[in-house]
C-alpha cells in the first residue's frame, strides 16, 4: 500500500482511445492513475508501462463497468494502492450503428448495458467515494446534438449519460465535487474509425471549421482542465468538437 495523499484518478476504458489519452494526460499532470479495462489486458499493460516509463504512477485493473461488484473492487484497488480517489473519468463505451428500423435489439441492449448502466454503476461508486476537491467526468458524444442518421441508439445512450451527469452534480451539493460531461465530435479513435473509408473520414473532416477530425489528445486536454483547475465548471456538457455544428 502506498498510502499517499496525492491526487488519484480512475479512468474507465483507459487502455485505448480517449480513455488512454486521458489517463496519460492526467498522469503527466501528476495524478496516480488506475486504468480500468474489460477485454484487452495487453493494451492496458502497455498503457500502464507507457505512463511508468514517463515517470508516472499507474495500475491496470480489470472491471466490467456494468458489474457493481467489479466496480466496487476497482475503487477498492485505487484506495488500497494509492490512498483514495479524487477524479473519475468514465470513458468506457460501446457504439452500435444502425437505423432505428433495422437495429439489432440484442446489440442495443449490450450497448446500453455499458453506456447507460455502466455510467450509473461507476457514478454510484464515484458519488460515494470521490474526495472533496475532486471531479467526475463522463464521456458523451456530439451526436446527441448533430442527430446523424444511424446514430439514434448510440445518441440515446449518451443522452442518458448527460442527464445523469447534470443531475449528479446537483445531488453532490456541498461536497466540493464537480460533475460534467464532455461530448467529443468525430475523433480519431478505433471506435470511430472502424468501418469508415479514408474518403469518408476526409469528408467528415472537411465539414469541421478546423478542417480536421479531433484527436484523443484534444479531448484529454479538456478532461485535464475539468479534473484540475476548472473548478467553476459544474453540471455542464462541454461539446469538444472544433466547432462542428
Q: Which positions are catalytic? A: 154
User: Distance of alpha carbon 172 from its chain centroid, rounded?
Assistant: 20
Contact 47, 15 (CB under 8 A): yes
Pick left, alpha or beta for residue 84 (phi over 0 → left; psi -120 to 50 → alpha; otherwise beta).
left
Helices (H) and strands (E) in the chain, counts: 10, 7
Residue 147 zone, left/alpha/beta (φ > 0; ψ -120 to 50; rest): left
d(CA 150, CA 103) in angstroms, rounded, equals 9
Distance (Å) of CA 79 to CA 2, 10, 26, 76, 217: 9, 10, 17, 5, 27
**Whole-angstrom Cα distance, residue 34 to residue 61?**
7
* 3-state percent breakdown (helix, strand, coil) of the chain, nearest 5: 45, 15, 40
Amino acid at each position: 500500500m502506498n498510502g499517499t495523499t496525492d491526487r488519484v484518478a480512475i479512468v474507465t476504458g483507459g487502455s485505448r482511445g480517449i480513455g488512454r489519452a486521458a489517463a496519460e494526460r492526467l498522469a503527466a499532470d501528476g495524478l496516480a492513475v488506475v486504468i480500468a479495462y474489460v477485454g484487452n489486458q495487453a493494451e492496458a499493460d502497455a498503457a500502464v508501462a507507457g505512463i511508468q516509463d514517463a515517470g508516472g504512477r499507474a495500475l491496470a485493473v480489470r472491471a466490467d463497468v456494468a458489474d457493481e461488484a467489479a466496480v466496487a473492487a476497482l475503487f477498492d484497488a485505487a484506495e488500497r494502492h494509492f490512498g483514495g480517489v479524487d477524479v473519475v473519468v468514465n470513458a468506457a463505451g460501446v457504439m452500435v450503428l444502425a437505423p432505428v428500423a433495422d437495429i439489432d435489439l440484442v446489440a442495443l441492449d449490450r450497448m446500453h448495458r455499458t453506456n447507460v448502466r455502466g455510467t450509473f454503476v461507476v457514478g454510484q461508486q464515484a458519488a460515494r467515494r470521490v474526495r472533496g476537491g475532486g471531479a467526475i467526468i463522463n464521456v458523451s458524444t456530439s451526436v446527441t446534438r448533430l442527430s446523424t442518421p444511424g446514430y439514434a441508439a448510440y445518441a440515446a445512450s449518451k443522452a442518458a449519460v448527460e442527464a445523469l451527469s447534470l443531475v449528479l452534480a446537483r445531488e453532490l451539493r456541498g461536497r466540493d465535487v464537480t460533475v460534467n460531461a464532455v461530448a467529443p465530435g468525430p475523433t480519431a479513435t478505433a471506435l470511430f474509425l472502424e468501418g469508415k473509408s479514408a474518403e469518408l473520414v476526409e469528408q467528415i473532416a472537411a465539414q469541421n471549421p478546423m478542417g480536421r477530425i479531433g484527436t484523443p489528445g484534444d479531448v484529454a486536454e479538456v478532461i485535464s482542465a475539468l479534473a484540475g483547475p476548472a473548478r467553476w465548471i459544474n453540471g455542464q456538457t462541454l461539446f469538444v468538437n472544433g466547432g462542428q455544428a
